[in-house]
Structure 1
Amino acid sequence: MADVQLENGYTRIANELLEAVLKTPFIAAHLKIILTCWRYTYGFGRKEAELSLNFISKATGISKRYISDGLTELINSNVLIVVKESTYSSSRIIAFNKNYSEWEYRTTIQQVNPTSTVEAEQDTTVEPQFNTTVELQFHQERKHKENINKGDYEKLFEEVWLLYPKKKGKGAVSKTQKQKLFKIGYDRLAKAISKYKKEREGQDPQYTMYGSTFFNTGYVDYLDDEEKPKAEPKPLKFISYDERIAELQDAEMIKAEEHAEKMKPLRKEFTL
């Protein structure tokens, strides 16, 4: 039975990037090349890696002939980027282009030697386009979410900005923060602004928060308790056995040093 654990290693990929790859009709061989690139770049916390044809072939189980063709097509399509060309002593350094709007990928069926039936089945099949009800619903929800992100949150921010008394630092409120404000809603934010304005009545206006400060963090103190955004749980930290032993040893050493420090006055009295 496989023992799959995060502490044994994992690859961090942005969900948006995964969705972009899912929406692009990569053939199987090209998708395997991309996954290999991710594994040996993002999987090691880096943006690029030295990847030879032979290495990718062994990692994917696909012949070097098709790996060579696939790499050429992915590079020409701006899906992969050549950071440094190969030399006599080193392989080509490759990076994945996460700016998916630059991709120019077009699915093509590779020409296969009829005698190579295994590779024909493995590398030339174009992945089917699924149009199930579930998938259609998913894309409709995604499109609705994108429309909200592009239009409504900007509109809401402009409306609540007009309500705020000290309109300074507008550009310092990020897109992500505007989306958070959108989730809170106009009515709640308007109530929070009203509370703050009432609190500031009769006080020196120079000490009133800038709009950027209020909409980034300050508003939270003026939301009703049930309306305050809940703090996101901290991700679990995985540590190895050796790291845990080192922590315990450090703790024991600190205790020993503290004990020795407490004993110093007693030693002096005994000596005198």
Structure 2
Amino acid sequence: MNSIAYFPGHEPESAPVPEEQPRGPQLENGYVRISHEVMRALGRARLRGSEYPIVLFVIDETWGWHVKNKVMTTNYISEGLQIPKGKVSTAVAELIRRGILYRVGDSQGPIGFNKHHGQWKAKSSASKTVKRANPEWEMIHQNGERIVSQNGEQTVHQNGESNKDRKDRKDITPLSDQSDDEARADLESLFDEFWQAGLRKDGKKPAREKFIALLNKQSDPASFARRLVDDVRIRLDAAVPGFDKLHPKTYLNQQRWLDDVPERCPHAAILAAWNEEMPAHIEKISADDWTPESRGFQALASAWENFKTKPRASTGKPVFTEEQEGIEFYREVFRRLAKVDRVQGEDAFRWCRLSWAAQQQVTVQIFKGEVA
């Protein structure tokens, strides 16, 4: 028997239990397989600012989960990386332009990483050609050296050299000879492109002032201007209600380019499916009559977005995720509607209209065979 009694206060000290050391990140908790070739290509890609972490984030969210692409909103990426939404939006647009990332479908479609680095484009050089019009602001020369305009005419470098001092040096890239007048002309040209993007032609002078003020705050004015133009066209194409009547200055003041973009609904293709599948006595729809102001247009756009983005309770998945798949879904809905006995009647044209069938609840009822 090994039991030993000890007087109180005379018990032997127990050996300290060593604290478990943290193991750190483990492969068993998830990892991403990526080739050396791709990693080296990323190193040579000269990614700027937020672009590199965004590329890695996209790779982790896709390849890390054995999928090629995934729906990732600006907010999702911004929260995941703690990067402002504006910078995320600009960086993603540039990465897609360069072909490093790609998007499936429209502006809300899934994003993926393009591993074929031979298809990647060079980074934008627009920032080299656009100079801020205010002579007190600093600029970054294309060779990376910061320059400061002191009096609107003389440019002095950090090392104290002026343009005149550097004129005959052969070890550096010559500075741009762009004058302030030329710089203003560049900004005016960018504004003209924005003005023609499709917003309401009203309040041009205040819109120009606001636009140029915004560009003067950007490190890459031309890229930012291009982003605004693309954003306006995307929203007009998506038929955002009231967007075509929006004043340009209001768009700029409210920073509407940061708003989430609704799904683009392919109205023309769905109209064509309706006209082809419905009986001859049912009203055919012209694209000229199917305008964003009409209730049918708005109902179809809303239903399309819900069908494409919101999961069904029964399956946990959207009705469709690709544009062509959605067009075929609507075509099948119209085929089923055309077979309904009541639609075969000659007076069906009085009530059987696309503006009615486009309502989400009605579309679901037609698909389920609940319209008799």
Shared fold per TM-score greater than 0.5: no
Task: Provide the TM-score with structure 1 as the length reference.
Answer: 0.37
TM-score, with length taken from structure 2: 0.28
User: Which structure has greater helix proportion?
Assistant: 1
